[in-house]
Amino acid sequence: MEDAGEPTDGRRARGQRRRAEIIDATLAVVKRDGAAGVSHRTVAAEAGIPASLSAYYFATLDDLLVAALSSVADVYTKRIRELIDRPGDRLRGLAELIAESAGTGRERALAERELSTLAARRPALQPVARSWRDNVAELASTLTDDPQAIAALVAASDGLCTAILIDNAPADIDYVYGVLRRALGVEVDASR
């Protein structure tokens, strides 16, 4: 039996694809021009659509920015969730994820960092911008019960990501891992 509220002609799927295209265009603008370069007009030009269509799907600029940051944050949340749920050295997995900021994940990390920094001025972005820190804290809490060690690991993770992006050089996973271990300040029990 079909749900009367569900379009049967693919309109919903087309709408979801259009939203995804607009989000991708937003991230492309952020990567190229920074978060300050994002407007309905610049995103629409990047996507090859009228600005009114961008505004139709995302009524405000904050809606657009939140959707773009969410798309990046969701990738990190999924990766950290996998680290938490699988057996093995979670801290090494986090080090590998952070080190990706210097390689294949650089563009995603730049967009996330840019949009997260913008959250200091745009409250609508703040809940999504906190997700990286919350996820790292959750991972840390599987390794220690010490709230200061958890906070230190979160701060070290943020600092390492920023340093890797600024240096624009390959990241040494063993170095990142060592800094994370030092920040945690405890012997890591990988079986925990």
- Tell me which DSSP letter residue 34 carries: -
Residue with tokens 């693919």: 10
Predicted confidence band of residue 1 (pLDDT cuts 50, 70, 90): very low
Q: What mean pLDDT is predicted for residues 79-101?
A: 94
Query: Which pLDDT tens digit goes with each residue over 5-37?
Result: 555 568 888 889 999 999 999 999 998 998 889
Query: Which pLDDT tens digit goes with each residue over 146-192?
Result: 999 999 999 999 999 999 988 877 789 999 999 999 999 865 555 54
Residue 134 CA from chain centroid, whole number: 12
Instruction: Provide, for the chain, the percentages of residues in helix, strand and coil under a 3-state DSSP scheme, each rounded to the nearest 5.
Output: 75, 0, 25
CB 133 within 8 A of CB 140: no
Task: Residue 181: count other Cβ atoms within 10 Å of its Cβ.
Answer: 18
Please name the residues in contact with 45: beta carbons below 8 A apart, sequence gap of 6 or more: 51
- Tell me which DSSP letter residue 31 carries: H
Rounded to a whole number of angstroms, the distance between the first and last alpha carbons of the chain is: 47
Please name the residues in contact with 50: beta carbons below 8 A apart, sequence gap of 6 or more: 44
- Tell me which DSSP letter residue 105 carries: T
Q: Which residue has the higher pLDDT, 187 or 69?
A: 69
Q: Answer whether 0.85 is exceeded by the pTM.
A: no
